[in-house]
Structure 1
Amino acid sequence: MGCSKKAEEKADVAKSQIVARLGEDVVTTQELDNEFRVAQVPADKRKDPAVVRQVLGELVSRKYLVRQALDAKLDREPTVLLDLLRARETVLAKAAASREVAKKSSAIVGSDVDAYISSNPMKFANRQVASIEQIVVPTNAASQDVFEATREMKSLDEVAQKLTALGIAHSRSTGALSSADIPADVFDRIRQRQADDIFLLRGQPNSVFFKVNTVETRPLEGEAAARLARQAMQVDLARSEASLASVEAVLAAKYEGDYAEIMKIQAPK
């Protein structure tokens, strides 16, 4: 009788960890929680019916397609096997890099944060914010020729007319740019602007044409400054770790055949 009761309790626990079934496959609470983590859904939103519906729906759809792929034995195809191997290596490499960054980030103390703030006045004590009018365009929808054609234009109206004539989707709005968020040389150009200057910031997925209305000093201080400083220091650490790993990999690698000659130019002296 005691063994039977324990078996029932285990079965109940197992059932409580299942949120959906697709034939023989199941979606567990751990998998759903991981989807929330990957999607960066805040803890207080994870019970929101609309959020759960979207995230769980996408997870179920993926599970369904995975079962179709397995039934069709697609996981045995050479290219699929290589893609699976690459995905595994990518996850492991990211985990290794993240662990190193987390370890070094935990060693950041208050004096480190204060030193960073002091060394970057344009991000903090002397931070400036530009009020702008902007036109946002998907970068992949506009060729280099389009950017060149709009380079000498003197108003956003001209830019909008050109984009419309070329059939390129775009949106127009107001916004703000902070000296804490964009490269120093770009903000220097903003401060030295002429009245009719139109600027272009290219990026992914969008590029922005913009005109500056005003620039004013808005210092960033206190807890907000410390929080931004820590985030910036963590980004710097991630870049540093990536560069270090790249150098160490080059030093450790022994290239074969023609690749030895090709890769020789990349090896540090």
Structure 2
Amino acid sequence: MISIKSVSKSYGSKIVLDNINLEVPKSQIYALIGPSGAGKSTLIRSINALESIQEGEILVKGVSVHSKQTNINQLRTNIGFVFQSFNLYPHLTALQNVTYAPIHVKKMRSHDAETKGKALLASLGLEEKCNEYPGQLSGGQQQRVAIARALAMEPQLMLFDEPTSALDPEMIKEVLDSIRKLALTGMTMVVVTHEMGFAREICDKIVFMAEGKIVETAHPEQFFSNPQTERAKDFLAKVINH
């Protein structure tokens, strides 16, 4: 589904991504974890060209994301992206947020988009919130609307950039439960997360990054019980004991 080949990116003299190579197969869930400043968000944002790259290539279903020949808007219709800060339209209801892109981008009939949008919101426990505006919703509810909005485009790939980092602790579980449900459908996902228990439980692979490099890639049980690098051991000692 995703093929990242020798990708590098710098801001001036600061190397943000340093020769990244990664393959994400269809229907697999990969967690990107690591300390702040490791390059995780830059990497996930570069998968749908929200960030540019200076070297290498990223392919999604065989299409080169950063090629000048690629119609990026068309490619993005296959890639759902959930931000840490929700990014909902404040002047639209929950349902209108979910139906906006299917109606305006996919030219779906309003009635069909609304039927589908209501079903998506209901599947995420939000059937009562269709006509409420983002300002009337809790952070966890807003993030679930954002997930429904991404799913409304029927993407083949979902990217999550720290989807729970802006949430109060009691709201984190409802968002993670929504992602767990999505995992059961066989959706291909890449998740940048600080939630180690979630990463261990749900993900097929852990990709540990530090200083712009992929330091270690392993199955969750292996990574959490027997990390192979000193950098990973140091990181886990800090995050799991605190």
TM-score, normalized by length of structure 2? 0.25
More helix by share: 1
Which structure has more relative contact order (CA 8 Å, sep 6+)? It is 2
TM-score, normalized by length of structure 1? 0.23
Mark the structure with the bigger radius of gyration: 1
